[in-house]
Amino acid sequence: MSTSSSVNPAVFDWSGPNGLPRFEAVSDDDYAPAFDTALAAHDAEIDAIAKNPEAPTFANTIIASETAGDELSRVSALFWNKAGAHSNDAIQALEREIAPKMSRHYSKIGMNADLFRRIDTLWEKRTELGLTTEELRVLERHWKGFVKSGAKLEKTKQERLAAINERLASLGAQFGQNVLADEKSWCLPLDGEDDLAGIPDFLKEAMASVAAARGEGHSYVVTLSRSIIEPFLTFSTRRDLREQAFKAWVARGENGGETDNRAIVKETLALRAEKAGLLGYANYAALKLDDTMAKTPEAVNGLLMKVWEKALDQARIEERELAVLIAEEGKNHEVMPWDWRHYAEKLRARKFDFSEAELKPYLQLEKIIEACFDVAGRLFGIKAVPLKDVVGYHPDVRVFEIRDREDKLVAMFLGDYFARPSKRSGAWMSSFQSQHKLPLKNGAVGEIPIIYNVCNFAKPEAGRPALLSLDDARTLFHEFGHAAHGMLSNVTYPSVAGTGVSRDFVELPSQLYEHWLTVPEILKTYAVHYETGQPMPQALLEKVLAARTFNAGFATVEFTSSALVDMAFHTRGAVEDPMAVQAEVLKSIGLPQSLVMRHATPHFQHVFAGDGYSAGYYSYMWSEVLDADAFSAFEETGNAFDPAMAERLKANIYSVGGSIDPEVAYTSFRGRLPSPEAMLKKKGLAA
């Protein structure tokens, strides 16, 4: 492997157990020289492929491209993991430098005329090459990638497109850093008993732990970590403090000064619109949806508005019920966003005779992790073996071997579950290494996937168990569903491995996996009280299951309003005032004043901290149509772990990655494509 003398070999040569990186051997100072070396090596490899004097073949052009850039993949995987999960000032400064540099690098490749000529030649005669279905998909992905990178544009337009991409990369990095800065800098100290009114013990413990970690002399603090702020808004009886905390939460990225994201959003939307125009698309949404199941903005908005109308009707019913509770307390204020969670919790306790505080002692993090692994074992025949003495990228990270029924190693998995100031908010799955079966320069053939999950659960005091909310537990299952998609991958080519699928299909394996959390058999086994070890009482279990669709109007309105604003931005193009557009869209769809978007524009990281879910936030709902129908297939058998159905699921959804068309994949599993009805029923929005 080519390295300069100034590069730490541990960045590229992963000699930890089963090919893991040796995280402890890599310092922040190692990344910059490693990127320089890796970028130069990839340039040389691409140049050799493009200038190969032999006629283009699938092997000397496509396979060669698939295996090029190994050093760059490795340093990128390490660096972007660090930037998201354990950042600092030095990493953030380098991120602002690396993001545009990487954009320049890939723009240069995407506009390499010699390389595109070879790929275009193969594309034109693809029917004559005797390619497998997977190979055709890989060829198509390469060809479309070059076209969308401007390979067919004249030189001046190519240069402009490259400049746009570079600027967008910088803007995305800055957007995410600004949100993290606002989250880190804000806290609400709670020092007296009056401040703690209504707060249950589990939340007091979490807030005390965070206060101690911050070292600012306060007994308890509320932070903007979702695992703290949401239960605080749920349980605090101090309406003034709820309002203060809520307004800080929704104002991330909108506080003026250096961390304000509104100008970034405006510039981002203008550049995306210009990029779409250069590539011949009516708008940026049309560009992003070109290779998805939805295909068009009209199809997306059709689904979103169908759901919106039902969700809004339900939310209005819920709001009236909350208003009754407020009046019963002798208060006369309207339902506002900082009231909703608080009174919804009281309403749930009344309707279903249990509270989140009553449920939480039965949802221990350790047990929910075990439940995740058990479900994977029952469905897919894999088991997780903890490696106690292996160092991860942070002391909190756990490392596991994933083995199949024959005890063969199939993947490595890392779990990083606790919130910390150096970690961006939210939860996600990513990989250090994707699965494939191609020969490598070092003589090996293929690689196993190395997958990790990141969450932001409140870390308990030493010696105390981490207790989750039901939403937290669903999040853990959701991200492990993504992880399973990566770990069960069984394809030949890395570009279509694991989660390398269309954006509105990628959430199917994760959202589907959530269903197994509330299978009674799983809850009975793993929802055990952290003090007594006793399983959740049958009566409480039944209440939990009965309440699954409670507050569905609230949750669906929060999500759908965000998705509709995302689509509006990316179908309109450049806008003078994005916040005015957000307000206009929300007014036009009738968002009640008691509710807000789940992600207001200045902190909508899915859409603006990079390009991942731009014009694509809808995909969670698109996949939800699929996952509701897919789980119904198990329900129809009468066995949530039906072996034949599980095998079909693994063979057609979890293991094939992007090697076949997603509609073909789903139809192979289910026998047909779904309609939204099962999803609406699951949400409690249809009979």
Q: Which residues carry out catalysis?
A: 479
DSSP state of 653: I
User: Helix, strand, or coil here: 229?
Assistant: helix
Direct distance between the N- and C-terminal alpha carbons of the chain, in angstroms, rounded to an integer: 61
Residue of 675, 669, 681, 671 whose CA lies nearest to 642: 669
CA distances from 10 to 7, 70, 559 (A): 9, 14, 42
DSSP state of 61: I
User: Helix, strand, or coil here: 559?
Assistant: helix
CA distances from 106 to 23, 74, 99, 100, 220 (A): 27, 16, 11, 10, 47
Query: CA–CA separation, 528 vs 367, rounded Å?
Result: 8
Give the largest CA-CA distance in the chain.
84
Q: Alpha helices, DSSP H only, in 129-154?
A: 133-148
Query: CA–CA separation, 210 vs 3, rounded Å?
Result: 42
Query: CA–CA separation, 449 vs 431, rounded Å?
Result: 7
**Tokens in use for 544?**
């939990």
Q: How many residues does the chain have?
A: 687
| 221 backbone dihedrals φ, ψ, rounded to 5° | -140, 145
DSSP 629-664: HHHHHHHHHT-TT-HHHHHHHIIIIIS-TTSS-HHH
| 599 backbone dihedrals φ, ψ, rounded to 5° | -135, 100
**Tokens in use for 244?**
């203060």
| 613 backbone dihedrals φ, ψ, rounded to 5° | -115, 20
In terms of DSSP bridges, do strands 445-447 and 436-439 run parallel, antiparallel, or are they unpaired? antiparallel
Give 170's contacts (C-beta < 8 A, 6+ positions apart).
Answer: 96, 99, 100
Query: CA–CA separation, 667 vs 651, rounded Å?
Result: 12
CA distances from 606 to 377, 563, 601 (A): 31, 11, 10
DSSP state of 403: E
